[in-house]
A and B are shown apart, each in its own frame.
Chain A
Amino acid sequence: MTGECLLVLENLGRPLEPNLSAHVAACQHCQAVVKAHETLARARSMQLSQAADAAFAQSLSRAASRPARAWWVEGLAIGAVNLLLVTAGVWALRLRVAASNLAPPEIVWAIGFFLVAAIIAGPLIALAPGGRLLRKYALASYPLLAVAVVVGGSGLQPMRSFMRAGISCLVLEIALSVLPAIFVVWALTTTAFRITRAAIAGLSAGAVGALALHLHCPFGTVSHLLFFHVLPWLALGAAAVAVRSRLTSKSFAP
């Protein structure tokens, strides 16, 4: 497809300038495009029923009477709830077992900072209108963060068996992340289904449990972090996509 082909495409339905007409005469692709465009013009316009739909007018009026809410209100509210849940989770865990991540503090806080950012920014990015490119970057940042969690571990071996120590982490992570996941996936029904939105939503909810474990769990081997901190987190992202795809949208706005 050449630049002239594009010009022909842009000028379909209008008289073509001599140089474009000459191009069409020589270009088989453009001949096909012009012919198809002309053929479609012969299709008559759709005849739609003109019957006034009083019931629909009423539904529209009812929907319009409800106050409009800016999209970011829900995003911020979910971010705030996520932070509250992390705080409550870490506090409850500390009451039970006084333990914490034994990696160097600067690594613990740096990764913790990015997890907090993921928890707050995730719902906002997932719910924001437009922002397709931002969503792509945000989605790509979660696996990087997951790698940082694994690589930044303390290396400390679990004192209990691999599975016993791991299962308790897995259960804690899921327990802390379920509520944020429900909130954010439900909020996503106010917009059209997009895989990237749902994945970011699920990963931001999973980051709630991942942050609590990151601050609290003393075990830091790669296998423990990978199988019981990171994989359940990523699985939650996939589960959010699967669940959201089955929910009915309340609105199809972009």
Chain B
Amino acid sequence: MLRFIDGDRQGLDVLYQRYREPIASYLTRIVGRSSGEDLSQVTFLSLVRARGRYQRGARFRPWLYAIATNAARDFLRRRRMEQLTSKREMVREEAVDPPEADPGMEQAVHRALEQLPENQRLAIVMHRFQNLSFAEIAQALELSESAVKVRAHRGYEKLRELLRDLWEEP
């Protein structure tokens, strides 16, 4: 990131190649397939536009995930507002994002994650699927590490209930 801030455009290419997939995968789990990849592009555009806000010495990965999380939250907030104002929109939105290529387990996990409160979902997706440490998640969510752990713990407990049918399979 510092290479990029100092004017080396290749630094951006390296960042994009390294983090494109993890970020798109993270966002897809939060907002759904149809919007996840679009939001990952928004995340990288935000990174470029806001590089003047990056503090030298700060860890890059939590900063990038904070941008992605903010983009996802904004998207979800606007979607909720649209759903509140128009029931027709809601029906359309549900139809737009089908679980096309996610049969079985992936679909069940996606549904279960969707039922978690936002903060628990974010903590679990970052921890389980993106392999971020609790310290990194805390930085990305602007929370204390202990608050993140409590949310993750509660989230996993709830997931156990939601996914009970799956793990009780022989």
Contact = CB atoms under 8 A, between A and B. Distances in A.
Q: Do A and B come from one complex?
A: yes
Interface of A: 1, 5-6, 9-10, 12, 29, 32-33, 35-49, 53, 56, 59-61, 63-64, 66, 68-71, 129-130, 132, 190-193, 249-254
B91 interface: no
A68 B52 contact: yes
B119 interface: no
Contacts of A132: 142
A32 B156 contact: yes
A250 B152 CA distance: 31
A60 B44 contact: yes
Interface of chain B, main secondary structure: helix
Given A40-B109, A56-B41, A64-B12, A254 B63 contact: yes
Interface in B3-26: 4-5, 9, 12, 16, 21, 24-25
A10 B74 contact: no
Interface residues of B, number: 59
B48 interface: yes
Interface of B: 4-5, 9, 12, 16, 21, 24-25, 28-29, 33, 36-37, 41-55, 63, 66-68, 70-71, 73-74, 77, 101, 105-106, 109, 124, 127-129, 134, 142, 149-150, 152-153, 156-157, 159-161, 163, 166-167
Contacts of B54: 129, 253
A63 B45 contact: yes
A213 to B, nearest CB: 34
